[in-house]
Amino acid sequence: MARAAVLGRLNWLLAELVELVPETPRVKSLVLAAPGWPGHRPGQHVDVRLTAEDGYQAQRSYSIATPPDGERVVLTVERLEDGEVSPFLVDELLVGDRIELRGPIGGYFVWDGADRAPLHLVAGGSGIVPLMAMLRHRAGLGSAGPAALVYSARTEGELIYREELDRLAADDGALRIAYTLTRERPPGWTGYDRRIDPGMLGEVLGGADPNATAFVCGPTRFVEVAADALVGLGYEPGRVRTERFGPSGR
Amino acid sequence: MDHVTRGFRGRRDTERSDRIPPGQYETRDFPVLSAGPTPHTPLETWTFTISEGGEERARWTWDEFQALPSETITKDIHCVTKWSKLDTAWEGVSVDTLLDGIETDAAYVMAWSDGGYTTNLPLEDVTDGKAWVAHGYDDEPLDPEHGGPARLLVPHLYFWKSAKWVRGLRLMEEDEPGFWESLGYHLYGDPWREQRYWGD
């Protein structure tokens, strides 16, 4: 089991950036080759450590965007304007540069799809990243139970992985994806146009299937609202797993 | 020395306080981290229980708990997700007060919460003025998303040890891992020794 991977000490590994994928104007995916990477489960995250010439260090946590893939780890990072680490990762890191990371971290906000039970996902902003690892993993399984995603962003341009998500949904009749844009809609927008609420979650997720596990990831307020709504819809609280990032989650 | 990251200077606009443990950064916000939905237990049914070996040793209703002597506590707190917040101001009941008069051979406690969360601590880390059950923050009742109506406050350990929505302490002779401690996080969690994960 991959969980055994965290039984030992989590050592810092030196990972090389092998590809940079622009996702939105403020978001890039960092494709890293990490020799010695012990493997991970969809939904887990890593710690990244940067060291300046004089020894000054900064550490932050980032979600892994991809399912287990040998020693390859993909992080999707949003540039926070007042951040210390994310602007460096998004704007200054170049292919060939090396950064230290250790992981995988977190053994609760994970989904391997082993039980074919329904997968219900609710994402706010860059909270889509660990959920994308689950959806990508699910697509690779070949056969999986039904899944649904509600993804909220401010504008269409801020939806991360938009094309890939549309493709996944088009290829898979058991996957339902709905977007909601809370600030600005393009002409002819047919998705939702409001902040998430119980009605929207009920419509897209199809009600509280007692076998479903719900994963909610996003800013604190968003997660509070979504998780409360799911409990209100009848989800057992123990089947609603959350990951929150605060205003200072940089 | 660890690998130097090409081009990384870090933010040097503020003097780094010597109160920030290794690998942490200072924040002025109060981020929230919880594994599940925020529980909303009505105060009429809220109780706080000290138990040992399946037996109840002491129990307070919300009103009884509120009547206990309360202290104002100002402490720095450190979350394993890397943020530290200095001079946070709490109102709460010392765990010494709750354990007063209870004879025990226990060396550990398991704090347990609404929602099923647990976290383990050595008894000596929650006694002698080191831990509280906090019910106020910044002169206000503690918000549910920050653990209200009451949370454990053990500021000298990483903040996951300060269990939100705490409802009781189980006295234990042997240590056993709580929720996060079973999922890769350190059994003890001293931020100054950077005990984040197993083996740290």
pLDDT of residue A144: 84
Q: Say if strands A27-33 and A13-24 run parallel, antiparallel, or are unpaired.
A: antiparallel
A64 and A148 in a single domain? The answer is no
Residue ranges with strand state E in chain A: 13-24, 27-33, 45-51, 57-63, 72-78, 98-105, 119-124, 147-153, 175-181, 213-219, 240-245
Q: Is B83 on the interface with A (CB under 8 A)?
A: yes
Which of A70, A105, A140 terminates a domain? The answer is A105
In a domain, A220, yes or no: yes
- Residues from chain B that touch A248, judged by Cβ atoms under 8 A, are 27-29, 31, 83
pLDDT digits (tens, 9 = 90+) for A48-102: 999 999 999 999 999 999 999 999 999 999 999 888 999 999 999 999 999 999 9
Say yes or no: A9 and A66 in one domain: yes
Range of the domain at A88: 2-105
CB contact under 8 Å between A52 and B198, yes or no, is no
Mark yes or no for CB contact B10/A58 under 8 Å. yes
H helix or E strand, kind and range, residue B121: strand B118-122
**Count of C-beta atoms within a 10 Å radius of residue A25:** 10
A228 within 8 A of B37, measured Cβ to Cβ: yes
CATH assignment of the domain containing A12: 2.40.30.10
* CATH code for position A142: 3.40.50.80
**Percent of chain B scored above 90 by pLDDT?**
90
Does A189 reach chain B within 8 Å, measured CB to CB? no
* A94, A195: one domain: no
What residues of chain B lie within 8 A of the CB of A35, using their CB? none
**Is residue A240 located within the same domain as residue A125?**
yes
Element (H, E) at B91: strand B83-94
How distant is the Cα of A4 from the closest Cα of chain B, in angstroms? 10
Tell whether A83 and A144 lie within a shared domain: no
Check if the beta carbon of residue B142 is closer than 8 Å to that of residue B150.
yes
Please indicate, yes or no, whether residues A74 and A142 belong to a single structural domain of this protein. Answer: no
Least CB-CB distance to B1: which of A49, A55, A88?
A55
Band of residue B1 on the pLDDT scale cut at 50, 70, 90:
low
Q: What contacts B110, CB < 8 A, 6 or more positions away?
A: B118, B119, B120, B121, B169, B170, B172, B176, B178
Domain segments of chain B: what residues? 58-193
Q: The domain B58-193 belongs to what CATH superfamily?
A: Oxidoreductase, molybdopterin-binding domain (3.90.420.10)
Size of interface A-B (CB pairs under 8 A): 137
Q: Tell me the chain B residues in contact with residue A232 when contact means C-beta distances shorter than 8 Å.
A: none
CA dihedral over A222, A224, A225, A227, signed as positive or negative:
positive
Q: What is the pLDDT confidence band of residue B149, given thresholds at 50, 70 and 90?
A: very high
What are the pLDDT digits (tens) for B108-147? 999 999 999 999 999 999 999 999 999 999 999 999 999 9
In a domain, A110, yes or no: no
| Domain shared by A77 and A143, yes or no | no
A126 and A17 fall within a common domain: no
A88 touches chain B (CB under 8 A): yes
Q: Which residue has the higher pLDDT, A160 or A250?
A: A160
Summarised one tens digit per residue, pLDDT across range A197-241 is 999 999 999 988 889 999 999 999 999 999 999 999 999 999 999
Interface of B with A in 123-182 (CB under 8 A): 145, 179-180, 182
Same domain, A133 and A234: yes
Residue type, A245: F
Q: What is the pTM of this model?
A: 0.94
Tell me how far apart the alpha carbons of residues A109 and B1 are, in angstroms, rounded to a whole number. Answer: 33
Q: What is the pLDDT of residue A178?
A: 98
Residue A112 maps to a domain: no
- Residue B119 tokens read as 């976290």
Chain A nearest-CA residue for B33: A244
Do the Cβ atoms of A247 and B197 come within 8 Å?
no
Q: What is the pLDDT of residue B67?
A: 98
The pLDDT score that the predictor gives to residue B14 is 62
Q: How far is B156 from chain A (nearest CA, A)?
A: 20
A139 touches chain B (CB under 8 A): no
Tens digit of pLDDT for each residue in A161-185? Answer: 999 999 999 999 999 999 999 999 9
Domain count, chain A: 2
Least trusted range by pLDDT, from A21-35, A67-81, A155-169, B9-23: B9-23
Q: For residue A1, what pLDDT is reported?
A: 37
Cα gap A153→A172, rounded to integer Å: 23
Alpha carbons B124 and B41: distance in angstroms, whole number: 29
A93 & A66 share domain: yes
Which residues, at least 6 apart from A104, have a Cβ–Cβ distance to it below 8 Å?
A: A2, A5, A6, A38, A39, A40, A41, A44, A45, A46, A64
Backbone angles phi, psi at A126, to 5 degrees: -75, 0
Tell if the CB–CB gap between A52 and B184 is shorter than 8 Å: no
Would you state the structure tokens that stand for residue A185, as one six-digit string? 């809609």
B118-122 and B108-113 strand pairing: antiparallel
Same domain, A140 and A97: no
ipTM exceeding cut-off 0.85 for this assembly: yes
For residue A35, being part of any structural domain is answered with yes
A174 belongs to a structural domain: yes
Q: What is the pLDDT of residue B32?
A: 79
Q: If we measure between CA atoms, which residue out of B2, B97, B85, B131 comes closest to residue A47? A: B2
> Which residues on B lie below 8 Å from A92 (Cβ)?
7-8
Q: Assign A6 a pLDDT band (cuts: 50, 70, 90).
A: very low
> Hey, is the C-beta of B13 within 8 angstroms of any chain A C-beta?
no
The answer to whether the beta carbons of residues A151 and A165 sit under 8 Å apart is yes
Nearest chain A residue to B183 by CA: give it.
A107
Closest CA to A213 of A108, A72, A119: A119
pLDDT, residue A11, reads 93
